[in-house]
Amino acid sequence: MSVALLIVSHSADVARGTADMARQMAGADLSIAWTGGNPDGGLGTSLAAITEQLEAVWREEGVAILVDVGGAEMNSEMAIEQFDKAKAKKIRICQAPLVEGAIMAAAEAASGGGLDQVCRAAEEFSHA
């Protein structure tokens, strides 16, 4: 199994589209979850939805989370805190642009890279 990805955006359309694009680039076998928008269907993020998707996609190899802006990162951090320490250590928020980072992370995960490598691949794009 490979590292999984979770895409978190303030927009459900952006989150879904980013996940679809990353999946198409890296292959259908890669585990990619997404969540976006607030519970009313507007812009925003939902701690409950992020936690639910993290639980669904979590795996021993780890989960790389890619976020768009402030609230998505904050809610993702709070979701990670809800996991026990052993699981939480295997979940990382990548400091990378959402779409480009997700594509790079997906490619690295699909090629068997570990959590550190997956996040580094996503983050290197932002320094290019």
Is residue 10 annotated as part of the catalytic site, yes or no? yes
Helix 98-110, helix 12-26: angle, nearest 10:
30
- Alpha helix (H) residue ranges in the chain: 12-26, 47-57, 70-81, 85-88, 98-110, 115-127
| Mean confidence (pLDDT) of the chain | 95
Contact 108, 118 (CB under 8 A): yes
User: Domain count of the chain?
Assistant: 1
Top pLDDT among 106 and 27 is at 106
Beta bridge partners of 93: 65
Task: Give me the domain span that covers residue 38.
Answer: 4-127
> pLDDT confidence of 125, banded at 50, 70, 90?
low
Phi, psi (rounded to 5 degrees) for 6: -130, 125
Q: Exactly one of 4, 9, 10, 14 is catalytic; name it.
A: 10
What was the pLDDT predicted at 4? 98
Give the domain CATH number at 64.
3.40.50.510
- The per-residue pLDDT for 70 is 86
Q: What percentage of the chain reaches a pLDDT higher than 90?
A: 90
Please, are residues 68 and 12 in contact by the beta-carbon 8 Å criterion? no
What pLDDT, in 10s, does the model give residues 77-106? Answer: 999 999 999 999 999 999 999 999 999 999
Q: Which of 10-14, 39-43, 44-48 has the lowest average pLDDT?
A: 39-43
128 pLDDT more than 90: no
pLDDT band at 14 (very low <50, low <70, confident <90, very high): very high
Whole-Å CA distances, 82 to 9, 48, 91, 115, 120:
20, 10, 12, 20, 25
CB 109 within 8 A of CB 26: yes
Per-residue pLDDT for 28 more than 90?
A: no
Predicted pLDDT at 40:
92
